[in-house]
Structure 1
Amino acid sequence: MPSACLPTATETEPALPWTGRNPVCAGWFEMRSARVPRDARPVYDEDMDCIIGYHRSFASVASTYDLTGQVVALDACVDADGAGRARLLVAGTLWQPRVRGMTRSGAAGEGLAAPATTLARLRGRFIALARQPLHFTLAALADMHEPDRFVPLHILRLVIRCGTRLAAAADMARFAAPITRRGVPTALELTLRPRDHTVLRVRTWPVAG
């Protein structure tokens, strides 16, 4: 068989699921879609240990967005966001609206003031994002178990969905996006085998402020 017809390593590497536990807190990571308003505050769900969306209060309207920047709900609000408000909004079993506290991961936040139906919709959007299949090669899976190289699956899915697509070989797709890890600006580049949604490689590196 001519060498040009032989399958490449990227075509034949097995697709493995993620079955391990996160080596670090998934809530440390954020990828903010360009469609999310700049003044919208992230909503961290302590029960899920993830940022699941964004919330913005202005005048008499509270807007809630999913991770892709789509509007989830428009509700009436009593008070607008301001300089004195916490940067992070937190939802969870132990959190009360507008009450400040610390999350289990050590972040300062303020309880999300939103109707239960809005929070349920936001969680539903996050769960729907998680249904997108994603697999890993053996090398990529090994990297995911390393605390310094781990990136949560929902962040990888967001990079594929909302990131910038880069030039790649015919059997691959490459995406790039800015993210933050514990508030540190970080660049992420992901190489994917599109035919079975298998991650071939994930690279991250800090970006100078």
Structure 2
Amino acid sequence: MQRFTIARHPPLISHRIEFQKIPTSKLAFPSARPQITHRVDFSEEKRNVTNSRDSDLAERDASAPLPFCTCADGPAKDHIQPAGVATLSEEDPDRNANSQEEIDELLDDLDYSSPAKIPKPAGEAGKPNCGGYNLEEELSGWTEKFFADVSKFVKIKANNLLDTGVSYSGQTLEAISMVWHQVRRRFSILDKYEGDWPTRD
């Protein structure tokens, strides 16, 4: 007697799609295939737009009134003020004074004397693979000797002025600010960095 083995059909991962050739006579569109995109000569279109724009500008310039001119004697005598446009003297004087005061306040808030400081990079120093940064790479403009000098000076001042048995968060604000003030006084380049982050990190 002969033995038969039954193999299971492999599972179907996707639907089976059968492609069949359909005669062109049965297709809904004619044999001349439609264009997918319009054939447009953009250089011709651009020339037409440019020519029409130039002619519009020429017409507008010919009909436009002369611009308002303020001389030492005041406005030109023959200038015609457009309807609906108020001069400063016709407007509400309180509004002019208030707007000038607001402008003065805004200008006072802006500090033009000090340039923008270099911001601290995102993350923590010494953790470059965890979203932080490498301090030496961020300060690549510094020489190795200068970087070592700053680090050494910070360490000396921290040992002298801070309680090394307590963490940074446990130090007094006065002691910390004294360290950073002395470091900044010694190395004036640190004034360019926002919040003295090179020495704090």
Q: TM-score range by the shorter chain?
A: under 0.3
Higher relative contact order (Cα pairs below 8 Å, separated by 6+ residues): 1
TM-score (norm 1): 0.20
- Counting strand residues as a fraction of each chain, which structure ranks higher? 1
TM-score (norm 2): 0.21
In our comparison, the structure showing a higher alpha carbon Rg is 2
- Counting helix residues as a fraction of each chain, which structure ranks higher? 2
